[in-house]
Each structure stands twice: as C-alpha cells, then as structure tokens.
A and B are shown apart, each in its own frame.
Chain A
C-alpha cells in the first residue's frame, strides 16, 4: 500500500479552533436566551423583577441593617430588625442540644468522622474506593454511637436524653441511611427475584414504608415497637426512632436501587454468568458496585428528603433542632417574639446542607454522564 504513493505526501494541518461568536456566549446571550426569549417570557421576567425589587430591600434591611448582633440577653434586642442575639445565645443548644458542655468535642468528632468518610468515598482512587469506604460506612454509625454514649470507649456516659440539636438531625439521618443501605439492597433484589414469595414480601414491605407518612411511622415506632421487644427491656427512644427511620429509608432506597438495577445492561449479567460466578458473587462483585455508582445522585436526593424529615422527630418529643427552637421560644427569659429569627436560622442551616448535597449530586451526575459510556 504505502509504496503506491510516489511523490512526497502533502502535510495535513488541522484548521485552528476559533472561539464561538459573542452572541452565543456570555451573560447578555444567556439573558436573551432564557429570560427574554419571547414577549410573554419577557413580561413575566419584568414582573418578577419588580416584585423582587419590592421585597428584597426590606428583607436585607431586616436581616442585616436594622438587626442586632451583639448582646447577651433579651435586653439587647432594641432595634427594628432581627435580633440575632437570640440565635447566638441559644446556638449551643441548637447544635448540640443538652449534651454535656465539656464533652461536646465528642459530637464534633462524630461529625468530623462522618465528613471524612464521605469525602473519602468520593476521593479515594477508584481501584479500591468501594473496598475501603463500604466497610468504613458500615462501622461508622456504631462507632459514633459508642463515642457519643461513652460507656464502651471508657468516656463519661452521656444519656441519650441529653443528645439533641442539629447534630442529632445530621447523625440520625446518616446512621439511618447507612444501616438502611444493605436492607434496601436486599429488598430491591427481592423485588426483582423470580421467587414469588420473596417478591411479594418485598413489594408489600417497600410499598408499606413508602405509602405511610413518616409521622405515622414515628408514632408507631414510639408506641407499637415496644410491644415487639421482650417485656421489661426498655429500649431507648432514640434506638426506636432509628429503627423506624431505617425501615422508612430502606423502602425508598429499595426503589432507588431498583432503578439502578435496571440501568445495568444485561451483558454484565451474561459476562458474569459465562465466567461461572455464582448468584451472590455476581450480585456483590459485579452488579452492586455498578448499581451504587449509577444510583448515587438518587441516593443523595433520598438522603436530603430523609434529612429534612428528621425534624418530625419533635412530634414524639426528641430534642432535635426544631424542638430545641420551640423550647427556646417558650423560655421565660426570651418571650420577646423571636420566632422569625429562629425559623429563618433553622431554615438557612437546613437549606445550606441540602443545597450542598444537591450540588454534589448534580456534580456526580455530570461525571457519570461522561464516564459511564464505554
């Protein structure tokens, strides 16, 4: 072939890449494309902007300009705006509940451990990411409980009655979703199974926990669950709601996993079969890791939902952050009506956490989009 070309070949130079024309990039183009693309759209945009122009200055004034930031008690609240002194004075309660003050480092340690394990599960080299982070995740809830409780690790015992605040919301949600993980995987497998019994049990379970409102589940947990435990055993209230959250969560996550299973091409099963892997080897070594990967964005979305639902724990008297806020609002030293500040504060911290997780989820989704094709 090569020697059929007698003369020197002409050298091929690819044309240089040019930047896209201005009209398709930049903020002006974005606004033209998204906000003013048609007359109704433009009218709507202007209406919304007028509305915002009306409210935003007032909000900013209330939150930042006329607000009070310094002081130690209600007497400092004299301005027209928000009195953040209230939030400041109660901040330890809001975050840590009544946890023994000089032991609060243990709560922080638990939160840091949680954070580190989460970061590790996204940043470790891919070749051993799952092998390391899955076991870490599974021991984490029990490690945190041991640290917070103290008895097993030789620290001062802090009764669960004193656990509370926003850290309890975070740790409850995390501990529930982690333990729910293996269960939901089994339910999802059951729902896909060829065995009619396994399938119907899974369907009933999943649909029950997805269909009943979480509030009703919490009531059942605090009233009915004790009936199942042996007489005389007094199972901690937190453990009972933990169990409820786990069941609730595994119903939802089972459906997330089912979606993940459907995304795995049948060729993966066939390849695993043709090597001679057994059912559990195939499921755990080949299918599960891929299901987790494609389900990650939905797992995070489900977690956000669970996390927000933890405020319902106040209904059964668990001092999570909202319950703590209600306590603070009814405190006789703070009867000046700080409800708005309190709710804004709780709203903002929830929003920050949830928004962060949503960003993470969409980030992962984008990465999946580019890396999962092969």
Chain B
C-alpha cells in the first residue's frame, strides 16, 4: 500500500471516507460509513447516544483504528504508518467534551506545547501565536492561570484555541458543549460560529439545533452505527424521512 497515494477525487474534497467499518471485538460499531467533506464545509452530526458519532470523528484523526474501508484526509490516506498518522494529526484539530486541558500546565503552556514540540517553533513565536488565539476566544487575561482555575466555558474556549494554534485545516468537535452549565454554552458556540464564518472545515457532533441551523451546510443523522439521513439543516429537521429520525427529533425537542 502506498503511503501518500493521491486518491482525492478533486482538490475540493478534504475528507473522503469510503465503506468504513469498525468493530469493538464482536460489536459492529460503524457500518459502511461513506462521507465526503469539501473544503470549508461545516457538518453537524447528531444521533442518539451510542450511535457511533464519536467513533466516526475519532477515526478521522486516528484516535480510533478501523478494520475495513478507506479514509483520506487532505489527500493522505490513513494507513498503519506512524509518520502518516502524525502528518494527519497535524492537519486536524480536535475539541473534546471534557476539554482535556493539561492540568499541570498553564493556559499559555497548554497552547504553546504543540507549536514548540510538534512544529518546532521558537518559544517566543509560539507564545505570540498563543496570545493571538487566546484573544480570539476572548480570554487573554487568563494566560498564566491553570486550567483548574477556569470555568468550564473558559476551559473549552482554551481547548479550541489550543487546537487552532496548530493551524489545522480541519476541526473536529465532539459534543463541545454537553459538559457545560447552560449559561456557558453560548460563549463556546459563539467562538465556534465565528470560526465557521472564517471558512474552517468543521465536523461537529452536537445536539445544539440552533447552532446546526446557523452554520451547518449539512446535518448527518446517525443511528446504530450507520448514517441514516443527511441533508441541509432545514430539510433534515423539518422534513425527516425516516421514523428513526422522527423519533430522535421528537425526543430532543421534548425538553
């Protein structure tokens, strides 16, 4: 298998997932996932808990392995090769549900770690970049604090800034607001909307309908390891084709 086969159908497609299958032991988590994401496209993934949303996006930066199918990111095919995986991880930023900031490092150090150790930038330059992104997520004054001293919303914004410091081409979000108290959700979504407006390619697992309607080009509905429906937000939410999506929408709109 060649390590850097240029198999992209067009330069526009940054992520091409073909017939992706994954098992945990005997458990078939992902079944024939097919998904193509264009440069600058914003995709929202929703679906009931346990349907494989996290697993899907975690395959994209190889936090999870898969057993069958192919996955091409920015023209680089994901194979076992460690170099390849690191090359892809440099292009893809990820934001987690529980922030996963490094608790023993200051906010600034959390941000400069990647630029200094992965991109080998000098410290001063890394700090300049870090401050630029901290300003963008509107918390430059917290630079010298530790993650434990920040609120959940602030921590999540730091986590976004930490990813952005690596100047990724693609950003993955895995339920970025679901661990937050209600009053903090907006500050994080605002940052994400801004990022979307700047043209970042985004894949976002979230149940925030308002956010999906505002930024998503396409919403994907997953259930039981499959992509059941995909459409524009208006169509998908107002005109569900399958009973599974109808049921899901009625459940999340209930509360």
Interface residues in chain A, defined as those with a beta carbon under 8 Å from any beta carbon in chain B: 126-127, 130, 265, 267-268, 270-278, 281, 285-286, 289-290, 293, 371-374
Whole-angstrom distance between the Cβ of A214 and the nearest chain B Cβ:
33
Q: Is B176 an interface residue when CB atoms closer than 8 A count as contact?
A: no
CB-CB under 8 A from B144, the residues of chain A are 127
Q: Find residues 76-133 in chain B having any chain A CB closer than 8 Å to their own CB.
A: 86, 89-90, 92-94, 96, 98, 100-104, 106, 109, 113-114, 117-118
CB-CB under 8 A from A271, the residues of chain B are 94, 96, 100-102, 159
CB-CB under 8 A from A267, the residues of chain B are 96, 98, 100
Given contacts A273-B89, A274-B61, contact A268 B166 (CB under 8 A): no
Total contacting residues, chain B, CB less than 8 A: 30
**A274 and B86 within 8 A (CB):** no
**A276 and B147 within 8 A (CB):** no
**In the complex, per-residue mask of B128-146: 1 if CB is within 8 Å of any chain A CB, else 0:** 0000000000000000101
Task: For the complex, give the distance between the alpha carbons of A285 and B112 in Å.
Answer: 12
Task: For the complex, give the distance between the alpha carbons of A268 and B106 in Å.
Answer: 15
CB-CB under 8 A from B109, the residues of chain A are 127
Whole-angstrom distance between the Cβ of A269 and the nearest chain B Cβ:
9
Q: Is B53 an interface residue when CB atoms closer than 8 A count as contact?
A: no
Task: For the complex, give the distance between the alpha carbons of A105 and B88 in Å.
Answer: 59
Task: For the complex, give the distance between the alpha carbons of A127 and B145 in Å.
Answer: 10
Given contacts A268-B102, A281-B117, A286-B102, contact A275 B86 (CB under 8 A): no
**A274 and B93 within 8 A (CB):** yes
**B118 and A374 within 8 A (CB):** no
CB-CB under 8 A from A289, the residues of chain B are 104
Given contacts A270-B63, A275-B118, A277-B114, contact A293 B90 (CB under 8 A): no
Q: Is B218 an interface residue when CB atoms closer than 8 A count as contact?
A: no
Q: Is B157 an interface residue when CB atoms closer than 8 A count as contact?
A: no
Given contacts A126-B146, A285-B117, A374-B148, contact A275 B89 (CB under 8 A): yes
Listed A/B pairs (10) with beta-carbon separation below 8 Å: A127-B109, A267-B96, A267-B98, A268-B100, A273-B63, A275-B89, A275-B166, A276-B114, A277-B114, A293-B104
Whole-angstrom distance between the Cβ of B118 and the nearest chain A Cβ:
4
CB-CB under 8 A from B42, the residues of chain A are none
